[in-house]
Amino acid sequence: MWAMKNIGDTFLRKDINTRQIILGSFWRDEREQNVDGRFAVIHFLGDGRIEHPLYCFSIQANNRYLITRATVQRIHRGKRASSDICSWAGHIAECDLDVHAMKEFKISTTPNVEDAMLVTPEAPLREARHDMVVCMAPMYIYTDWEILVTGIELWLAMGATKIVVPIQSASSATYRILQEYERKGIVIIRHWPKWPIMSDTNPNGLVLSRGIEESHVNCLFFVKPWSDIVVFSDIDDFLLPLDPSTVSPGDNLQILRNLFAEHPQAGSLLFEHRDVQFVPPNRQGDQSLANFNFEFLRNSKNKMNCNVWRMKTRVVVNASRVDSVNMHETGIHRFGYVQTRIPCRQAHFYHLRHSHNTVPSPTPINMSPLADMLNKQWQNRVESFTSLKNEILNKTNTEYLEDFDRCMGAINDEHWTMKVSRCLTPHVCFSRLRRDVDCVAVASEYEFYRSGKGYFMNPINIRVQKSEVNCESPVPPFTSGNHYFAP
């Protein structure tokens, strides 16, 4: 045996096949179909360098299985080549099912039902139709509750009626504020745990920007059944009129409706964002919701002008016209719709990042009318925060982000050498500022299902608990499986 192994070392190669981490499953809304039938979408994470076959099994009226091969697409296929740098990526697989498949069906990596795993898609949320919904980027190690409140209140004032916030880890104050907004029917909290470590790879370090694209696609399919316009944004990015001194309630919804009317073939709108001079709120003394206000916005006197070209960085979509969203553009469009680039001089996002003390190529702005509008809205809102409004909250701390910023900058610099040492994601960085922070994190466990020579992996027992040191979320272990080989 050892002689054969030694000989085989010269020509053997590893063939581990598909390993699919299931991120979500959703029924295709009938209003999005141009053919009759019953369809479902499986959203999964997998190695972008290989193909991922997926077969769907649904029971027919004669009690036999209808077996179809799913249409599988990488969420940014055509936008970014697959490589061995950020080698894992999100995929969507669309299953053509029997019309009687109402609650569940099976999936497999082979056409054999013996290899199939049962799937129960997420039931669509019972929501009234929303004109504008915001899908936020996932929260990791997030402690800046003042900017969180600013982001939520600003989007509400500008026309949004629902905001979806995926959480991996955040300060306890941040999470409790989100829970208050959720109780008011304004925010929906989605849990976004880390991914499990495979026998030979760690997907957390191989997915661009900690999975912001995967999170956006997951949010898109979650909100599709009850949303018209969907905005994808970071907490500190906001759409505002070109001249913020003219701001009035509902402006964003009107801006977006006008742009979609001007571009009837647009499935998505791509916006630049302008860096804004940012002076953070006064953090001296005890901080609470009751004494918080938006006066700090008056100190933002400049934004970068539109003469300097910037990459399009923020995406707004008509929910029924697209199936995937990338970090800075749209991926898969439906029915011939296209992405449309919006000139900065027509509309753009405002970026209030913690490090923007000054901005290059400035143009003056007046944010006082926005501060007045938000202060008035906040006075009414904060009264409904019950006991939380008077509690002393953690002081926002952005020091721990400094090592991450340096790490991301170093990876960016590597790109100019054409040789990159690691994927552009904070999971490959180490923060030297290790400290105990009062944080909560989403934890989970994983079960795996061996299907043919491939695997499906599902998160189970998802929960919110005290975070690990430095506000990190724990890496989930495998706790059950149907085979002696681990994924």
Q: Which helix (H) or strand (E) segment is 183 a member of? A: helix 172-183
What is residue 434's predicted lDDT score, i.e. its pLDDT?
64
State mean pLDDT over 297-302. 94
What is residue 82's predicted lDDT score, i.e. its pLDDT?
73
State mean pLDDT over 1-14. 82
Q: Which amino acid is at 381?
A: R
Q: Which amino acid is at 93?
A: A
Within a domain: residue 385?
A: yes
pLDDT digits (tens, 9 = 90+) for 385-434: 888 999 988 777 666 677 788 898 999 999 999 999 999 998 898 877 66
Within a domain: residue 86?
A: no
What is residue 83's predicted lDDT score, i.e. its pLDDT?
80
Instruction: Give the range among 14-18, 119-123, 128-132, 202-206 with minimum mean pLDDT.
Output: 14-18
What is residue 78's predicted lDDT score, i.e. its pLDDT?
65
Instruction: Give the range among 66-80, 97-111, 212-226 with minimum mean pLDDT.
Output: 66-80
pLDDT digits (tens, 9 = 90+) for 331-358: 899 999 999 999 999 999 999 876 667 8
Q: How far apart are CA 217 and CA 208, in angstroms?
A: 14
pLDDT digits (tens, 9 = 90+) for 156-190: 999 999 999 999 999 999 999 999 999 999 999 99
What is residue 435's predicted lDDT score, i.e. its pLDDT?
67
Predicted TM-score (pTM) of this structure:
0.95
User: What CATH number does the domain containing 296 carry?
Assistant: 3.90.550
Of all residues in the chain, the percent with pLDDT exceeding 70 is: 97
What is residue 245's predicted lDDT score, i.e. its pLDDT?
96
Within a domain: residue 108?
A: no
State the virtual CA torsion across 320, 325, 331, 334 in degrees, nearest 10: 0
Within a domain: residue 478?
A: no
Within a domain: residue 386?
A: yes
Q: Which helix (H) or strand (E) segment is 71 a member of? A: strand 71-74
Q: How many domains does the chain have?
A: 1
Domain that holds residue 256: 130-399
Stronger pLDDT, 415 or 77, i.e. the higher one: 415
Among 236, 57, 223, 212, smallest CA distance to 133 is for 223
CB 362 within 8 A of CB 275: no
Within a domain: residue 11?
A: no
Stronger pLDDT, 310 or 78, i.e. the higher one: 310
SS3 per residue for 319-364? HHHECCECCCCECCECCCCEEEECCCCCCEEEECCCCCCCCCCEEE
What is residue 397's predicted lDDT score, i.e. its pLDDT?
67
Q: Extract the tokens encoding 117.
A: 């795993």
pLDDT digits (tens, 9 = 90+) for 204-258: 999 998 899 999 999 999 999 999 999 999 999 999 999 999 999 999 999 999 9
